[in-house]
Amino acid sequence: MGNKFKMESPKHLEDDVLFISPTNDGAEDKPAEVTFEEDEGHDASLHNRSHDKKSDMATEREIMATTTDDDGIPSPSHPMEKRVLRKMDIYLIPLMGLLYFLSNLDKSNIGNAEVAGLSKDIKLVGTQYNTCVTVFFATYVLFDPIGTNLLKVMGPPLMMSICLTCFGAISLGTAWVKNYPQLIVVRLLLGAFEGMIYPAINMYLSVCYRREQYALRFAFVFSAACLSSSFGGLIAYGCSKVSGSLNAWQYIYIVEGCISLGFVPFYAFGLSKNLEDSWFFNKEEKEYIFERYKTMSTFNPDEKFEWFQVWQAVKDVKTWASAVALFGIDLTTFGLTVFLPIIITSMGFTNVRAQLMTVPIYFLTAIVFFVCAVWSDRIKLRSPFILGACLTTSIGISIVLGSEVHGVRYFGVYILCMGIYVNAACNCLWLSGNTGNYFKRATALGINLFMGSGSGLVSGQIFVAKDKPRYIKGLSISLAFQVFSIFMTIVQIFLYKRENDKKKAIIDRCNELGEPIPYDERLSDKNPEFKYMY
């Protein structure tokens, strides 16, 4: 008989990388050992890998004519891939970008409405305006995790068209609120339906694209958020010039609500529940898409919901590190999108002029974000852009806080806003691309966005009326949390690198012994061959 030796995860790291037994029984309890038997000739055999599964996967990869690059990320070479990508880019990305554009347009219009006289007309006093800003995030936070799972249950056409109809109608109805309680109600309703949009878009794109194709496409979508803020400023400026029976802030809500409602048919009839059933694909392309799923490390169309996947996300420390980092990032993002017009009025501009002055700021932000997203996909890294954006935002806040010169402070706002969308988007893309199973990813993103959106509850209370228009306290707290997010991003880098090193050790050992590498499809990104992006 030969000697036996074992290779297992150290006790304090046993949840980081799971090594799988031949069956899934007890997979939730602890990682299985990788056991080898050594005979007199020093030949070893690995007992925890299904050879049939490995063979099937190799066949699928061969059929799809894909290769694997040095980073372990699938790099498609099939000629059909470009055709499919081109059609998705032409038909899906504009729709997702438009949906996110409309969502952000209706979400942030309360800031422009306030500058246009909302509080004065409906007689808001004290901190009532801040409360109206804050309550939006109460329901926004609750419905963030729901959106990721409703997308799977209802399908994109039904889920997205319902949300768009509802938040468009609510925005339109806001034009006729008469008092504080009514504004509270419409803000709560608006938060519920808009809260499901961002996670739904994020999940939908993660199903359609491979993770190394993701950031570039999401750049187009997320840039729409920047452009919506610019467009919102233009609408507000135009509405302020309208002479009619209604007030300027009412016209803002009417125009933006009607715009949203006008695009509902595009989502009800332009999308399909399953990507492979989309009207713009021919039969050959549909067959390719169905087979393409088999080589995608982050999606399996046959996945069924199981609590095991939820628990895998909840107990993963990387999920919470990402979520805490996003809280600090979004504290600034949500505060700025609502209160920026008011901050600009402190620089000597009139209310109407302040709305117009936000337009070039967000336009530059969109360009910067797009460039960073393209670069991120090209070098297959996320963390450097998060760190750089947090640093840029921190510098911008410091300039706005530290200077009394209006021109310098306005320049500081440009620097500040250049990073607020880059760090938020890359944080979510990073987590999404590093999470394999659909329902694990949906849960992880739900937690991530729950924490990020929860910062909106705080931002509405730190940018208070008595501190306007400079909001020194709010900006100071935002600066502190940006620095904290830098620290949490470094923590994530360490966690991902540590797990990749452990996986590499297992792969090297198996290759040395000439044995298959452990694999279990239920554990997706925990498998040794799944390499985390930094």
Give residue 298's pLDDT band: very low, low, confident or very high (50, 70, 90).
low
**What's the token pair of residue 295?**
């080589």
For residue 29, give the 3-state DSSP assignment. Answer: coil
pLDDT computed for residue 300 by the predictor: 60
- Asked if the model's pLDDT at residue 12 lies above 50, the reply is no
pLDDT for the residue 77: 62
Distance CA 11, CA 427 (A): 29
| Statement: residue 451 has pLDDT above 70 | yes
Query: To the nearest 10°, the Cα dihedral for 151, 155, 157, 163?
Result: -30
Dihedral (CA of 379, 383, 388, 393) sign = positive
Listed by start position, the domains of the chain span 3-73+504-526, 80-294+307-496
253 pLDDT exceeds 90? Answer: yes
The answer to whether 114 and 351 have CB atoms below 8 angstroms apart is no
The CATH architecture assigned to 80-294+307-496 reads Up-down Bundle (1.20)
Residue-wise pLDDT tens digits, 405-426: 888 999 999 999 898 888 988 9
pLDDT tens column, 231-240: 888 888 899 8
The per-residue pLDDT of the chain, averaged, comes to 81
Kindly report which listed range (20-34, 93-107, 124-138) carries the lowest average pLDDT score.
20-34
Question: What is the 8-class DSSP label of residue 527?
Answer: S
CA distances from 10 to 15, 311, 333 (A): 9, 21, 40
Q: What is the pLDDT of residue 236?
A: 87
pLDDT of residue 22: 34
Residues 6+ apart with CB under 8 A from 525: 297, 434, 435, 436, 437, 440, 532
Cβ atoms of 335 and 342 within 8 Å: the answer is: no
- pTM equals 0.74
What is the reported pLDDT for 215?
Answer: 75
Query: For residue range 321-360, what is the model confidence (pLDDT) as tens digits?
Result: 999 999 999 998 888 877 888 788 888 887 778 878 888 8
Kindly state the helix (H) or strand (E) to which residue 38 belongs, with its residue range: strand 34-38
Contact 530, 493 (CB under 8 A): no
SS3 call for 37: strand
67 phi/psi in degrees, rounded to 5:
-125, 175
**CA pair distance 151, 205, nearest whole angstrom:** 12
- Higher pLDDT among residues 415 and 460, named by residue: 415
Q: Please report the pLDDT score of residue 10 as a whole number.
A: 36
Give, to the nearest 10 degrees, the angle between helix 156-173 and helix 128-154. 160
Looking at residue 302, what DSSP letter applies? T
pLDDT digits (tens, 9 = 90+) for 14-42: 344 444 333 334 444 444 444 333 333 33
* pLDDT one-digit tens code per residue, 208-224: 888 777 778 888 887 77
Bond prior to 469 in cis (omega within 30° of 0): yes
Please classify residue 49 by burial: count the beta carbons closer than 10 Å to its beta carbon, then call 0-12 exposed, 13-18 middle and 19+ buried. Answer: buried
Question: Contact at 8 Å (CB) between 17 and 506?
Answer: yes
Q: CB-based contacts of 263: which residues, under 8 Å, 6+ apart?
A: 98, 99, 102, 164
Bigger pLDDT: 88 vs 80: 88
Lowest mean pLDDT among 137-146, 302-311, 492-501: 302-311
Burial 158-193 (b: 16+ CB within 10 A, else e): bbbbbbbbbbbbbbbbbbebeebeebbebbbbbbbb
The rounded percent of the chain whose pLDDT value lies above 70 is 84
Contacts of 522 (CB under 8 A, 6+ apart): 24, 27, 308, 309, 437
Q: Which is nearest to 280 in space by CA: 82, 88, 81, 78?
A: 88
**Burial 309-347, CB ≥16 within 10 A → b, else e:** bbebbeebebbbbbbbbbbbbbbbbbbbbbbbbbbbbeb
What is the per-residue burial (b if ≥16 Cβ within 10 Å, else e) of 255-270?
bbbebbbebbebbeeb
Quickly list H helices, 263-316: 264-270, 283-292, 307-314
Q: Quick one: pLDDT at residue 24?
A: 39
Arithmetic mean of pLDDT, 502-515:
91
> Residue 150 carries which side chain, given as an amino acid letter?
L
Q: Going by C-beta distance under 8 Å and a sequence separation of 6 or more, which residues neighbour residue 372? A: 219, 385, 388, 389, 422, 426
Looking at residue 301, its pLDDT comes to 60
Amino acid 1: pLDDT: 42
DSSP 3-state of 469: coil
Token reading at 330: 């979004």
Only one residue has tokens 């109805």, namely: 173
Q: Which of 149-153, 243-247, 389-393 has the highest mean pLDDT?
A: 389-393
